[in-house]
Structure 1
C-alpha cells in the first residue's frame, strides 16, 4: 500500500514538473494535483484493502481486470463529484483512463518485483544460513571445549551438548517467522558457549522484560548480530567488555537494540557490513518497508537498532 501511494504521488510530481517550467508556481501546481489525485487514490487503496481477500481468490488476469475497472470507476466518480457546480463533468472519461492506466502500471511493477525477488528469497535464505555458520565460530567453540576437557569434563560435556543443539537449529531450513522468546533462548545458548571461550572478558546485559516473548521475528536474526558483537567488540578488547541486548514494544512496533564496544582501528568492516546487509535484506523480504535496521558508532560503542511491526505468535 505504501509503495502504491508513493508511486502515484511521484507520478503526480513528475506531471506537475512537466506542465510547469516556472518553479515559483510549482507549489500551487502540486496543491492542485493533490486535490485531484489524493481523494480517488485513497479511496482506491481502501477499496482494495477491504476486498483484498476476495481478489486473491480470483485468477490473476481476472483480478487485474477487476482492479483496473474499479480504479477507473472510482476515478471517474470522484471527477464528477469534484467538478465545479453548474459545469458539465466532461473530463470523466479521461479521469477513468488515467485511473485504469495507473492501476495497470502499478500492477505491472509489482509483478516484475515479485518475479525478481522470488529467486532472491531462496538465495538470501542460503546466504543467511551460510553466513551464520562461520568456521571460526565452530573452531573456537571446539577449542574452548577441548581446553576444559581435562580440568572440567562435566562442563565440557555440557558445552558439547549446547553446541550440538545450536548447530541443529542453525542447520534447519528456516522459512517461517520465529518467536522472540525462541530467538532469545538461542542467543543465550550461543553466549554461554562464547563465555566458555572468553571467560570473564565477555559480559552480557539483558533488558528484554518489557518486550512480549510471543512477538514474531525473522528466524536467526539476532545470533549473527551477537556473533558480530563478540567478534568485533569483545575479542579485540584487552579488558572485560559488555554486550547489551535491549528489546521493547513501542505501540505496534518492536524495537531491538544491541550494543558493544567499538574499536574503530581494529574493526573488520567488510565482515561486519556483510552480516548487516544480509539481515537488512531478510527484513525487507519478510516485512518490505515496515521494518528497518540502523547502525551507529558513537562514543566508543557500536549500536544496531531494529524496528519491525509487532505480530503475535505462540510463545514456546
Structure 2
C-alpha cells in the first residue's frame, strides 16, 4: 500500500488530479448509470400524448451513452496532460472537450438520420451544448470536492500518525538512556559502545520520517536496539529470530517492532533473575503480514503498566489509521508466555 501526501507543490501529480481515472470499470459503471438517469429525465420531460415512448428512450439512451463513453475515453487519454494544468484551467477545458464531442456526436447522428450533410439547426445544437455543459460542470465540481475531501483526510491522517510517532520516540530514547546509564560505572567501554549504537539507531530512525518503512529497515532498527539491551542484560537475554520468510521490501509502520521488544524485555526478561527467551516470528502470506513477539511471563500477575498500554495503544492506532479495520493487534497469555501479535494486509 502506498500513500502520497499533499506537499504543497504548484502542480498536482497524476494521482492527485481531481478528475478520476474514467477508464476504470467502477468509474465507467457509474457514468453509464448516471447517463441512464439523465436519459430518463430527458424523456419524461417531453410531453407524452400516447403513453411512454420506449423507442424514444432507446434512441436517446444510445445517443447519450455514445457521448458519455466517448468523452470518458478522450478525457482518460488526455488525463496525464490535463493533470499538469491548474484546476482552474483543467476544469473548463474538460467541459469544453465534452461539449465539442457532444456537438460532434449530434452532427454524426443527424448525418446518418438524414442520409447526408445535416442542415444547421441552431436550436438542436444549442440545446445539446447547454445540457452537456451543465452536466459536465456539475460532475467535475463533484470530482473536485471529492478530491479536496480526500486530501483533507490524508493530511489529517498524516498529522495523526506523526503525533503517535512523536509519543513513541521520547519513550524509546529515555529507556535506552537508562540502559546505558546502568553501564557507565560497571563497564565504561560497553557504555561507550552502547552510545555509539544508540547514535546509529537514531540516525537510522530519523532518516526516514515517513509512516511506512521496509521490513529490512525496521528489522535493522530492532537489532540495534537489542544490541544496546544486550550490554545491560548480558547472557540473561536470549533472542530467537524466525523472520527469514519475509521479503525485505514488505512495508511496516515505522517503530513497530522496537516497542514490542521493549515491552518484552521490561515485563518478561528484566523481572526474572535467570532472564528469558524472546522469540520474534514474522511471516508474509498471500498479501498479509503477521508479526509475533513471544516473551516469558508469570501467570496470574498482570504486566500491564501505563507505558505498556501507551505503546500498544499507539501501535494499534497507527495500524488502524494506515490499514483500516482489517488490521489487528492482539495480546494473550498461555503456558507461561506472553504473546503479542499484529496482522495487517500489505
- Structures share a fold, TM > 0.5? yes
Which of 148, 152, 158 is the matching residue for 1:121?
158
Q: Residues 120 and 54 of structure 1: is their aligned pair in 2 closer, same or farther, counting only changes over 3 Å?
A: closer
Answer yes or no: is the 8 Å Cα contact 1:133–1:170 preserved in 2.
Answer: no
Aligned partners of 2:276 and 2:294: how far apart in 1? Answer: 11
Aligned partners of 2:147 and 2:319: how far apart in 1? Answer: 18
CA drift at 1:272:
1.6
Q: Residues 58 and 272 of structure 1: is their aligned pair in 2 closer, same or farther, counting only changes over 3 Å?
A: same
Runs of 4+ in 1 over 6 A off after TM superposition: 107-114
1:70 equivalent to 2:105? Answer: no
1:57 equivalent to 2:95? Answer: no
Answer yes or no: is the 8 Å Cα contact 2:197–2:228 preserved in 1.
Answer: yes
1:107-147: CA deviations, max 9, x gaps? 99998687467335314323323323326413322213314
Q: Secondary structure at the match of 1:246?
A: strand
Q: Secondary structure at the match of 2:254?
A: coil
Q: Residues 71 and 55 of structure 1: is their aligned pair in 2 closer, same or farther, counting only changes over 3 Å?
A: farther
1:199-254: CA deviations, max 9, x gaps? 22211111111221221211211111111111121112232211110111212212
Aligned-residue Cα RMSD (Å) equals 4.2
Q: Residues 75 and 301 of structure 1: is their aligned pair in 2 closer, same or farther, counting only changes over 3 Å?
A: farther
CA drift at 1:173:
5.6
Partner of 2:221: 186
Q: Secondary structure at the match of 1:295?
A: strand
Q: Residues 70 and 163 of structure 1: is their aligned pair in 2 closer, same or farther, counting only changes over 3 Å?
A: same
Aligned partners of 1:192 and 1:59: how far apart in 2? Answer: 50
Q: Residues 71 and 195 of structure 1: is their aligned pair in 2 closer, same or farther, counting only changes over 3 Å?
A: farther
Q: Residues 274 and 176 of structure 1: is their aligned pair in 2 closer, same or farther, counting only changes over 3 Å?
A: closer
Aligned partners of 2:151 and 2:17: how far apart in 1? Answer: 18
Structure with greater Cα Rg:
2
Q: Secondary structure at the match of 2:209?
A: coil
1:166 equivalent to 2:201? Answer: yes
Aligned partners of 2:335 and 2:17: how far apart in 1? Answer: 54
1:24-60: CA deviations, max 9, x gaps? xxxxxxxxxxxxxxxxxxxxxxxxxxxxx98963358
Q: Residues 58 and 123 of structure 1: is their aligned pair in 2 closer, same or farther, counting only changes over 3 Å?
A: closer
Partner of 1:236: 271
CA drift at 1:259:
1.1
Answer yes or no: is the 8 Å Cα contact 1:236–1:266 preserved in 2.
Answer: no
Answer yes or no: is the 8 Å Cα contact 1:177–1:218 preserved in 2.
Answer: yes
How many residues align structurally? 237
Answer yes or no: is the 8 Å Cα contact 1:224–1:275 preserved in 2.
Answer: yes
Q: Secondary structure at the match of 1:133?
A: helix
1:201 equivalent to 2:162? Answer: no
1:283-308: CA deviations, max 9, x gaps? 12222234322222222222121222
Aligned partners of 2:297 and 2:146: how far apart in 1? Answer: 42
Partner of 2:296: 261
Structure 2 alignment gaps of length 5 or more:
1-12, 38-53, 55-141
Provide the TM-score with structure 1 as the length reference: 0.60
Provide the TM-score with structure 2 as the length reference: 0.56
1:141 equivalent to 2:101? Answer: no
